[in-house]
Amino acid sequence: MHILIAPDSFKDSLGAPAVAVALAKGIRKSLPKAGIRTVPMADGGEGTVESIIEATGGRIIQLPVLDPLMREVSSFYGITGDGSTAVIEMAAASGLELLDPEERDPWITSTYGTGQLVRHALDQGCRKIVLGIGGSATNDAGTGMARALGVRFLDGEGAEVTEGGGSLGDIRVIRLEGLDPRIGKTRIRVACDVTNPLTGLQGASHVYGPQKGADPEKVKNLDANLTFFAELVREQLSMEISRVPGAGAAGGLGAGLMVFLGGTLVKGFDLVAETVGLEAEIQWADLVITGEGRMDRQTRFGKTPFGVAQMAKDHGKAVIGIAGTLEQGAEEFYRSGFDVIIPIQERPVSLEEALHNAAALLERTGDRLARCMRLGIRLAGEESDINAHRV
């Protein structure tokens, strides 16, 4: 029997590689002859680099970059096992988590560090870049990132404007001549599951500005700046970006990646799945196991398990979901292709204890699952024995 284990991370508890390893360990205990492969998954958000690196046998590159407030910070990205593709999480250089709550201010925060990661990946010879852009601290339309790669944003006097979403309104001229020429030969794809436009009430500033530290007045001004910036891009670069779905992701970094790096936005799951070669692994498998710390039908959860289940179903494979927290409505999962969803909890406990024990719980869940299937196999065997005798 071939079993593919392709879970997302269990948030606040275990990364996807550790989840996969724990499940595999448990399953192997009771189905020692099963062929097991692990392909840790992600949805383009936190943990995407870790999962892809693990799944492809790649490596992590650590390097100092400038954080959202242009201070040096230790960051990282990954390169896949074949060396072709860099995998970058923008949050590792320009993320909200890098700032103390009182430091958060999208008026001045910059995506410059994300640009530095891209540049470093180009230096390593990567000509494919996968970018996860969740968790940003910024609202600069990716101008900081672009500047780190050679684009210049000049004010009325020909001087560089300062970093941050607050200075977009000062830009008068966008100069592309200095843009790193390797960008033109590089395929840049961006994991993006939001469809917010750059500007307006559904745009970057209004929807995500407040959680990044902007008060209502600042939100209004940030939105006005993005509107002005989109106008400038239209005039000087002949590109219309303000209404493009996803342009408003990560404080307009979605727009900046399209405009300056020729990036394309792709659903996070699809991008990760392609990068790790999920489909081939699913074809190999008889049974596919996926899961996530919390499984429900909310927008914020379940993207990866649902994606894995859908792909597995498309190939006629059996699918099991494993969940730390299974919200009511598993029927919804069953309609979506899952054959069964198995929660890992073993008794009434606090969330804290459950998070702390996830590895052991997952291993024992794997063992239980294998035991149940072994039972089914055994009972099927007895049944066919009986039928054989009847014949």
Sites of contact with its own copies (CB under 8 A): 1, 286-287, 318, 320, 323-327, 330, 339-343, 345-351, 353-354, 364, 368-369, 371-384
**Any residues with CB less than 8 A from the CB of 20 and at least 6 apart, and which?**
5, 6, 7, 38, 39, 40
**Comparison of 181 and 348: residue with beta carbon closer to its own copies:** 348
| Paired tokens of 116 | 């530095």
Q: Which lies closer to its own copies via its Cβ, residue 70 or residue 318?
A: 318
- CA neighbor of 47 nearest in space, from 22, 13, 24, 72: 13
Nearer to its own copies, 238 or 387 (CB): 387
User: CA–CA separation, 47 vs 50, rounded Å?
Assistant: 5
CB of 342 to its own copies, least distance (A): 6
Of 106, 199, 103, 110, nearest to 153 by C-alpha is: 110
What is the nearest approach in angstroms of its own copies to the Cβ of residue 128?
37
Nearest CB to its own copies, comparing residues 243 and 378: 378
**C-alpha closest to that of 20 among 381, 379, 362, 331:** 362
Q: Which is nearer to its own copies, 209 or 302 (CB)?
A: 302
* Smallest distance from its own copies to CB 318, Å: 5
Question: Could you count the other beta carbons within 10 Å of the beta carbon of residue 155?
Answer: 15
Instruction: Assess contact for 303 and 43: CB atoms under 8 A.
Output: yes
User: Distance between CA 296 and CA 275 in Å, rounded?
Assistant: 26
**CB 303, min distance to its own copies, A:** 19
As measured in angstroms, the least distance from the Cβ of 386 to its own copies is 9
Contacts (Cβ under 8 Å, ≥6 apart) of 28: 34, 36, 366, 370
Query: Which residue, 63 or 372, has its beta carbon nearer to its own copies?
Result: 372
Question: Cβ of residue 373: shortest distance to its own copies, in angstroms?
Answer: 4
